[in-house]
Amino acid sequence: MATQDDFTVTPHSVDGDVDYEQLLDQFGADEVTADQRGRFPDSGHPLVRRGVFYAHRDLDQFLNAATAGEDHALVTGVGPSGPMHIGHVFPFYFAKYLQETAGTTVYIPLSDDEKYFVKDLSLEDIGGYTRDNLLDILAVGFDPERTRLVVDSADADIIYPLASALSTDITQATVEATYGEPENIGHSFYPAVQATHLLLPQLVEGRQPTLVPIGADQDPHVRVCRDVAGKERYDVEKPGALLSKFLPSLDGPGKMSASDDAPNILLTDDRETIREKILTHAYSGGQSSVDDHREQGGDPEVDVSYLLLYYFFEDDDTEVERLAREYREGSLLSGELKELAAEKIADFFEAHQRRREQLGSLEDELEPYRLTEEERQQALGRVGYPDDSAGVRRF
């Protein structure tokens, strides 16, 4: 939890104009270096090359394993509190990039229980969002041989015993110091569940470097988990983290949320809806009139349309540099930049939507991504549960 006069960053809210250097100092993370960026496979990903992932914890261990072809894993998930939006796209497609280029094993937890603890949503609503989110995750196109999807409520037979074992190493004082006063006892217990998510690849498959790409606001989850992983009785490595800057909401600075009042671009939006949202709501770094813009130019660093292209939707570094230069010079107008961003985003989303439409039933599609019985037993055994090959615990 980081609070300054000008901004506040917690796992549940981000307000104000975030100073990323100050945030880095407060969280005690390290800045990603040029050498580390250069070690990512296949010339790196735009999120890495352009410094969107700007800070880390123990990144070198992950890169060493990835480049040497050794076992390594990545954990990235979602809390299903609404339809997935543009801000959810980045970590999943980043994970797919690493899976395709480095053979990374990807674990994807869906924390439907946590959303019930902290959101004013019914279990029925959360269940519907969970199913919807799962379809969007499956549409990304992960390799089922190297991917495991876990839903807290549906996989409670593995998540709850593991979280119970890990919870003995998390004190209430730690929870309150990290997150503030919990809203309820479910919320208070959730850090143990989150630690289970982040350690699950190692509990299932054995000790290996694990990377967690997250927004900087989620770093407290990693810090608590690293404390747990440091206990000698767990034969695991502390999970590393790759911390990203926040994607702005359409109306300007601040983190994009699925549940706030700012308009969001949803993964289900059609081309015309995306265009309308960008043209109507995307905060502009340009001037108030065409003549003034031609004379004074605009500021791409605060222009949401440009930032969307820079963060993810324009892969060509030369092109994003050209757009920034022409915008500053005034030869590229705000409306033109918005049109370009809307077209690029719509192209990407239409491809995603086509893959989603080609999926069969959720139950059939999800089955290859579920933890196997053997994997569940391996995880339980690593935290001290006896072998359950006879099914004794499943009354």
Task: Say which CATH number the domain at 159 has.
Answer: 3.40.50.620
The side-by-side arrangement of strands in the sheet containing 7-10 is 2-3, 7-10, 13-16
Instruction: For residue 153, report the phi and psi dihedrals to the nearest 5 degrees.
Output: -70, -40
pLDDT at 204 over 70: yes
Residue 377: inside a domain: no
In single-letter form, the type of residue at position 187 comes to H
Check whether 343 has a pLDDT greater than 90.
yes
Backbone angles phi, psi at 253, to 5 degrees: -60, 150
Mean pLDDT for the stretch of residues 329-357? 97
The pLDDT assigned to 25 comes to 64
Residue 369 lies in a domain: no
Residue 254 forms part of a structural domain: no
Q: Using pLDDT thresholds of 50, 70 and 90, give the confidence band for residue 24.
A: low
Which helix (H) or strand (E) segment is 279 a member of? helix 271-281
pLDDT in tens, 209-264: 999 999 877 888 899 999 999 887 889 999 999 999 888 788 875 544 444 556 88
How far out from the chain centre does Cα 57 lie? 16
Choose one of 341, 357, 373: the last residue of a domain: 357
In a domain, 117, yes or no: yes
Q: Are 239 and 270 members of one domain?
A: no
First to last CA, the chain: 42
Pick from 370, 368, 348, 372: nearest CA to 359:
368
Instruction: Give tens-digit pLDDT for 31-88.
Output: 999 999 999 999 889 999 999 999 999 999 999 999 999 999 999 999 999 999 998 9
Q: Are 104 and 170 members of one domain?
A: yes
Of 249, 270, 290, the position where a domain reaches its end is: 249
Q: Indicate the pLDDT class of residue 5, thresholds 50, 70 and 90.
A: low
| Shared-domain flag, residues 306 and 167 | no
CB 344 within 8 A of CB 278: no
CA distance 162 to 381: 10
Please tell me the least confidently modeled range out of 73-87, 171-185, 258-272, 310-324.
258-272
Say yes or no: 36 and 146 in one domain: yes
Q: What is the pLDDT of residue 262?
A: 60
Q: Enumerate residues 6+ apart whose C-beta is below 8 A from 390.
A: none
- When pLDDT is averaged across residues 302-329 and rounded to a whole number, the result is 96
> How far is residue 121's CA from residue 98's CA, in Å, rounded to a whole number?
34
The SS3 of residue 11 is: coil
Contact yes or no for 159/123 (Cβ under 8 A): no
- Tell me: do 275 and 240 sit in the same domain: no
Judgement on whether residues 39 and 10 belong to the same structural domain of the protein: yes
What pLDDT is attached to residue 392?
47
Let me know whether 99 and 157 are in one domain: yes
- In this structure, the answer to whether residues 230 and 307 fall within a common structural domain is no
Query: How much is the pLDDT for 3?
Result: 47
> What CATH number has the domain bearing residue 318?
1.10.240.10
Chain mean pLDDT for the chain: 89
| Domain contains 351 | yes
Backbone φ, ψ for residue 157 (5° rounding): -65, -20
Same domain flag for 184 and 58: yes
Please tell me whether residues 204 and 267 are part of one structural domain: no
- The whole-number pLDDT of residue 358 equals 97
Rg of the chain taking only CA atoms, in angstroms: 21
Assign 374 a pLDDT band (cuts: 50, 70, 90): very high
With residues binned 3-state (H G I as helix, E B as strand, rest as coil), the percentages for the chain, rounded to 5, are 55, 15, 35
| pLDDT tens readout for residues 123-142 | 999 999 999 999 999 999 99
Please tell me the total count of domains within the chain: 2
Query: Are 188 and 337 within one domain?
Result: no
Q: How many CA atoms lie within 13 A of 351 on its CB side?
A: 10
Whether 265 maps to a domain, the answer reads yes
Domain contains 386: no
Could you tell me the pLDDT band of residue 119, with boundaries at 50, 70 and 90? Answer: confident
Mean pLDDT of 4-27: 57
Domain boundary among 249, 271, 298: 249
| pLDDT at residue 26 tops 90 | no
Per-residue pLDDT at 177:
85
Q: Do 233 and 113 share a structural domain? A: yes
Q: Is residue 287 part of a domain?
A: yes
| CA 47 remoteness from chain centre | 12
Domain span holding position 11: 2-249
Provide, rounded to the nearest whole percent, the portion of the chain with pLDDT above 70. 89
